[in-house]
Amino acid sequence: MKTKFILHGGYASRSNQKNDDFFKEILMDAPKNIKILLVYFAEDESDFSRAQEEDISQFEKNKGDKKLTFEIASTESFPQQIAQSDIIYLHGGKTLKLLEALKKWPNFREFLNGKIVAGESAGAYALSSYFYSKTEGGLFEGLGFVPVKIICHYIGENKEKLKERSDGIETLLLADYQYKVFQ
């Protein structure tokens, strides 16, 4: 299977039809028995439990007849955890904290070959080439796995900030609950 990336604009844990569609999209091409790796490197440890509960609830609600198992990513065994998972879910939070954690593995992109990789907000930023984050205070470079310039939580502001990078790559403006698939 070709690697499938899904970028989400934010607030995927909230209950609504667009988020249901997002989680169904994540699960669509996965096998019947699925192992999902939940990555909370962008969150403070005190928020892991809440985030885990919300994410599992969303996956379970939208699984259809698939059987899901979950694992929480740890920095100690991250490459092995990815190898044993079908889906890698990069939860939102603090983007620069997530990027710092992911850059510990120079061959991180290779780990993802053939996987379904979903990034929500900070996760989407990390996977993109460039992102503008009002929270982080500027235009930053992501890992470049998805060749886009992106703004998540888009409300019609700051689009011009992406023009600083005129690399000929797609500009992606994702409002909360919106997502886009890249294969």
Which amino acid would we find at residue 113? N
C-alpha closest to that of 73 among 23, 21, 108: 108
Q: Which residue stretches of the chain are H helix?
A: 17-28, 48-61, 78-83, 95-102, 108-111, 122-127
Q: Compute, in degrees rounded to 10, the torsion defined by CA atoms 134, 139, 145, 149.
A: 80
**The token pair that represents 65 in the structure block:** 């007849």
- Give strand ranges (E) for the chain: 4-8, 33-39, 67-72, 87-90, 116-120, 128-133, 138-141, 146-152, 170-174, 179-182
Q: What is the pLDDT of residues 14-71, one digit of tens each?
A: 999 999 999 999 999 999 999 999 999 999 888 889 999 999 999 999 999 999 999 9
Q: Would you identify the CATH topology of the domain 4-182?
A: Rossmann fold (3.40.50)
SS3 120: strand
Q: Which two tokens stand for residue 176?
A: 């909360």
Q: What pLDDT does residue 167 have?
A: 78
pLDDT in tens, 123-137: 999 999 999 999 888
Task: Give the dihedral of Cα atoms 96, 84, 1, 147; nearest 10 deg.
Answer: 10
Q: At 120, list the tokens.
A: 């929500």
CB atoms within 10 A of CB 21: 14
CB 55 within 8 A of CB 89: yes
pLDDT category of residue 153 using cuts at 50, 70 and 90: very high
pLDDT per position as a tens digit, 68-97? 999 999 999 999 999 999 999 999 999 999
Instruction: Return d(Cα 79, Cα 33) in angstroms, integer.
Output: 21
Spans of all domains in the chain: 4-182
